[in-house]
């Protein structure tokens, strides 16, 4: 009789576990990631997608502006954003994360820099701080090159112009894609002309071009920063296995720079560059997959290794 009761209980537990797994599969099988169209986030989304696919999930990367990504996380239209650059996105953070509408899951990168930059040749002529820009306005045609419209950094630049900070009241901001901005930078550097633009680390621009970052704009761009992983509210509790993976996903500037360089300088596809880097660094892969299972509950590391 005792054996019969034990068997019934065991069977009930197994059925409950099976039902929970099925429920989690339905909710979590597709992982929707926001991508603002930046090279570094293409890399981190590429890494996450590669691992998720190996674990049996279906990653879906959606290219959207930063404000739309934040809105999507609040409206259950996105699950994950690996590109919360801080303090550059402080306003969005305060509005959505600090208020509790979006969950801050983890920090995935530290030691970042995100501010205005100039060619080293221009820096050597005395343009070393924000207040030096207007003194040498003739070098720049009173123009600052930013990235896509709606980016928080662009808003900071426009705010400086609107408030006539550093004498920039009669300057203009040119908004474009990251790639178009860098074409302009490359053209100016090649012709040994002045250009001031939005620069950041990690990014291959720091290797491709001889540039320096301006000081004095910390009130708008902050000091050395971090990149956070954000998830829609309650996501980690609903999808704990994906949540564990996201907690493990921590990157380095050297890693991201190496992959981006393969893409931008060597014309490799993002997926190919990511896969090659991951295959060449099994010790990093092991850390990322520690405690992570496949959707079916099997060993995650073995599954991802087999998929590479």
- Name 65's Cβ contacts closer than 8 Å, sequence gap at least 6: 36, 148, 149, 150, 151
Q: Within this chain, do residues 166 and 253 fall inside the same structural domain, yes or no?
A: no
Q: How many domains does the chain have?
A: 2
- Residue 264 banded pLDDT, cuts 50, 70, 90: confident
HSE (CB half, 13 Å, CA atoms) of 119? Answer: 20
Q: Within this chain, do residues 142 and 15 fall inside the same structural domain, yes or no?
A: no
Calpha distance 242→245 (Å, rounded): 5
Nearest alpha-carbon partner for 302 in 113, 130, 55, 9: 55
Q: Within this chain, do residues 156 and 80 fall inside the same structural domain, yes or no?
A: no
- Determine which of 5-9, 26-30, 82-86, 242-246 has the lowest per-residue pLDDT on average: 5-9
Q: Within this chain, do residues 106 and 149 fall inside the same structural domain, yes or no?
A: no
Helix axes 300-307, 39-54, angle to 10 degrees: 110
Calpha distance 211→226 (Å, rounded): 21
Boundary of a domain, candidates 221, 248, 265:
221
Which single residue is written with the structure tokens 């509210």?
Answer: 233
- Provide the pLDDT for residue 207: 82
Is residue 22 predicted with pLDDT exceeding 60?
A: no
Q: Within this chain, do residues 177 and 246 fall inside the same structural domain, yes or no?
A: no
Q: Within this chain, do residues 9 and 106 fall inside the same structural domain, yes or no?
A: yes
Q: Within this chain, do residues 192 and 294 fall inside the same structural domain, yes or no?
A: no
Q: Within this chain, do residues 287 and 229 fall inside the same structural domain, yes or no?
A: yes
Q: Within this chain, do residues 107 and 13 fall inside the same structural domain, yes or no?
A: yes
- Provide the pLDDT for residue 24: 58
At 135-190, the pLDDT tens digits run 999 999 999 999 998 888 999 999 999 999 999 999 999 999 999 999 999 999 88
Is residue 262 predicted with pLDDT exceeding 80?
A: yes
- Provide the pLDDT for residue 18: 42
Boundary of a domain, candidates 221, 241, 268:
221
pTM to 2 decimal places? 0.80
- Residue 5 banded pLDDT, cuts 50, 70, 90: very low
Q: Within this chain, do residues 107 and 9 fall inside the same structural domain, yes or no?
A: yes
Q: Which domain holds residue 144?
A: 115-221
Q: Within this chain, do residues 122 and 26 fall inside the same structural domain, yes or no?
A: no
Q: Within this chain, do residues 108 and 131 fall inside the same structural domain, yes or no?
A: no
At 39-98, the pLDDT tens digits run 999 999 999 999 999 999 999 999 999 999 999 999 999 999 999 999 989 999 999 999
- Provide the pLDDT for residue 26: 81
CATH number, domain with residue 150: 3.40.190.100
């Amino acid at each position: 009789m005792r054996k019969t009761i034990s068997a019934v209980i065991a069977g009930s537990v197994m059925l409950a576990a099976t039902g929970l797994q099925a429920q989690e599969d339905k909710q979590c099988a597709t992982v929707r990631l926001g991508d603002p169209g930046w090279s570094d986030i293409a890399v981190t989304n590429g890494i996450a997608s590669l691992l998720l696919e190996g674990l049996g999930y279906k990653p879906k990367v959606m290219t959207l502006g930063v404000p739309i990504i934040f809105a999507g996380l609040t409206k259950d239209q996105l699950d994950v954003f690996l590109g919360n650059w801080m303090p550059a996105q402080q306003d969005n953070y305060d509005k959505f994360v600090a208020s509790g509408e979006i969950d801050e899951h983890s920090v995935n990168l530290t030691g970042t820099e995100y501010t205005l930059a100039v060619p080293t040749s221009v820096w050597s002529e005395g343009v070393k701080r924000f207040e030096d820009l207007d003194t040498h306005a003739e070098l720049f045609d009173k123009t600052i090159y930013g990235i896509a419209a709606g980016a928080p950094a662009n808003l900071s630049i426009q705010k400086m112009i609107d408030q006539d900070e550093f004498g920039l009241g009669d300057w203009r901001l040119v908004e474009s894609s990251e790639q178009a901005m860098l074409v302009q930078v490359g053209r100016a550097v090649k012709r040994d002309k002045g250009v001031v633009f939005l620069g950041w680390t990690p990014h291959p621009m720091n290797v491709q071009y001889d540039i320096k970052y301006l000081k004095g704009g910390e009130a708008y761009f902050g000091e050395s920063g971090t990149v956070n992983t954000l998830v829609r509210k309650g996501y980690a509790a609903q999808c704990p296995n994906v949540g564990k993976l996201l907690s493990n996903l921590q990157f380095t500037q050297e890693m991201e720079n190496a992959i981006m360089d393969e893409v931008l300088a060597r014309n490799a596809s993002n997926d190919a560059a990511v896969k090659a880097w991951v295959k060449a660094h099994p010790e990093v892969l092991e850390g990322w997959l520690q405690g992570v299972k496949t959707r079916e509950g099997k060993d995650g590391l073995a599954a991802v290794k087999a998929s590479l």
